[in-house]
Amino acid sequence: MDAYELLTRNVEEAVTDEEVRGLAADPEGKRVYVGYEPSGVLHVGHLLTANKLIDCQEAGMEVVVLLADVHAYLNGKGSFEEIRETAERMRAQFLAYGLEESSTEFVYGSTYQLEEEYVLDLHGLAVSTTLNRARRAMAELAGEETATVSHVVYPLMQALDIEYLDLDLAVGGLDQRKVHMVAREGLPELGYDPRPCLHTPILADLETGAGKMSSSAGTTISMEDSTERIEEKINGAFCPPTRDPEPDAAGNERENPVLELFEYHVFPRFETVVVERPEKYGGDLTYEAYDALAADLESGELHPADAKAALASHLDELIAPGRDRLRELRE
């Protein structure tokens, strides 16, 4: 797989494709980042962008992980001391998950976001950004009734981070698209170059396939889940024998979250995926590509229960090192 294929594997959008192709032509030593608000234990939402960072490392890029302590403070996630304790646990989990320590730089936002030059640029970006534009970008952070002024400042800081971390590429979930567009439009107003962006998909709710998977609702897979808890969650997951499920009773479009987890988490990290089955049900199935597994599920060759068992086993193998590291840190 060449650098461009690695950078764009399983992304929902590249902004712009031409810029990403240019970056992929000479990726060695280029810098890519994701910013994470230190607010808890890693879950599959964090790990989806981490998978992309691992792809970028494989392509030869240097990874920057922003441990966004100031952002977390603005979002009411505790004192700086509490936030940094969480950030250090997250750092250990990312390394246990598979980020290469020698080519990963972890940066606290507070090491540069409180400096005079950054603050003045933040004011400059605030002057050139309309309130409506900033509010659209912060929509994922808080509802209209509970939003504070800090929630409007938050996405402007995210945009400015891309310049101050000296980045060549920004990665985020599709819910970060509006923030990245603020950066691409606003940074040139300050005399800085816009950077290309990669957006990963938003995973569907595990139980219904509608909406998005949510850690607040308790229906995501996290690094503190035991083997038994992962199996329980996956066994209860929505998994019709099709890639494109029918809408639910309320007319909401649905995805197959079991297939999404295979596509975005399992196949990028395993060369082959084995589905274990008794001989009386046809014996084991071995897959080297996601499409083959999805096709077998749709044809009936692969039963949803067998797919779920294999998914739980592979997810547990990915999560186990981070789970063990968390246990060590808490002892």
**Same structural domain for residues 110 and 173?**
yes
Count of domains for the chain:
2
Rounded to 5 degrees, φ, ψ at 78 are: 120, -175
**Same structural domain for residues 178 and 237?**
no
pLDDT of 144 reads 58
- The Cα 118–Cα 91 span in angstroms is 24
**Domain ranges, residue 296:** 227-330
Q: Which CATH number is 320's domain given?
A: 1.10.240.10
**Same structural domain for residues 194 and 231?**
no
Cβ distance 291 to 195 under 8 Å?
no
pLDDT of 18 reads 98
Confidence of residue 151 (pLDDT cuts 50, 70, 90): confident
Boundary residue ending a domain (184, 200, 216): 200
| Whether pLDDT at 202 is above 80 | yes
Q: Is 62 helix (H, G, I), strand (E, B) or coil?
A: strand
**Same structural domain for residues 159 and 256?**
no
> Which two three-digit tokens encode residue 18?
């031409």
Question: What would the mean pLDDT of 70-76 be, rounded to a whole number?
Answer: 92
List, for residues 238-286, the tens digit of each pLDDT value. 999 988 899 888 888 999 999 999 999 999 999 999 999 999 989 999 9
Whether 214 is in a domain gets the answer no
Whether 216 is in a domain gets the answer no
- The Cα 182–Cα 157 span in angstroms is 10
What distance lies between CA 119 and its chain's CA centroid? 28
**Same structural domain for residues 164 and 290?**
no
| Whether pLDDT at 139 is above 70 | no
List, for residues 5-22, the tens digit of each pLDDT value. 999 999 999 999 999 999
Whether 41 is in a domain gets the answer yes
Cβ distance 258 to 239 under 8 Å?
yes
List, for residues 34-69, the tens digit of each pLDDT value. 999 998 889 999 999 999 999 999 999 999 999 999
